[in-house]
Amino acid sequence: MCGPDAGWEDMLIDLLTGKLIPFLVVVSGVLAAFFGYGLKKRRDGVKAQKAKQAAASAKARDKRDEIDDAVADRTDDEKRKELGRWSK
């Protein structure tokens, strides 16, 4: 298409379709990959933070129950009775 008597329009079109389009395809693919990787890392971080908070909450709940039992001075039978009431 780019012959000796081709106009500047033909040379511009040839340049754009021959080199620019593949370049834009590659660049958009790389940008999409980086964007997807960032979303995945963010989602993984949120999951890790929720798991960390759940573990801390469980630990605090266990400590609270331990203190409640010590303060109330409950026997094992009383604990079972109270748990049975909550399980219904």
- Please report whether residue 70 resides in a domain: yes
Q: How confident is the model at residue 19 (pLDDT cuts 50, 70, 90)?
A: confident
- Please report whether residue 37 resides in a domain: yes
Tell me which residue range forms the domain holding 44: 8-87
The pLDDT value given to residue 17: 77
Structure tokens at 21: 């389009």
Q: What is the distance, to the nearest Å, from the Cα of residue 41 to the centroid of all Cα atoms in its chain?
A: 5
- Please report whether residue 27 resides in a domain: yes
- Please report whether residue 1 resides in a domain: no
Structural domain tally of the chain?
1
Q: What is the DSSP letter of 44?
A: H
- Please report whether residue 14 resides in a domain: yes
Residue 11: pLDDT over 80? no
The answer to whether the pTM exceeds 0.85 is no
Across 47-57, b (16+ Cβ under 10 Å) vs e yields eeeeeeeeeee
- Please report whether residue 2 resides in a domain: no
3-state secondary structure of 32: helix
pLDDT digits (tens, 9 = 90+) for 21-78: 888 889 999 999 999 999 999 999 999 999 999 999 999 998 888 887 777 777 778 8
Query: Which element (helix H / strand E) includes 85?
Result: helix 76-87
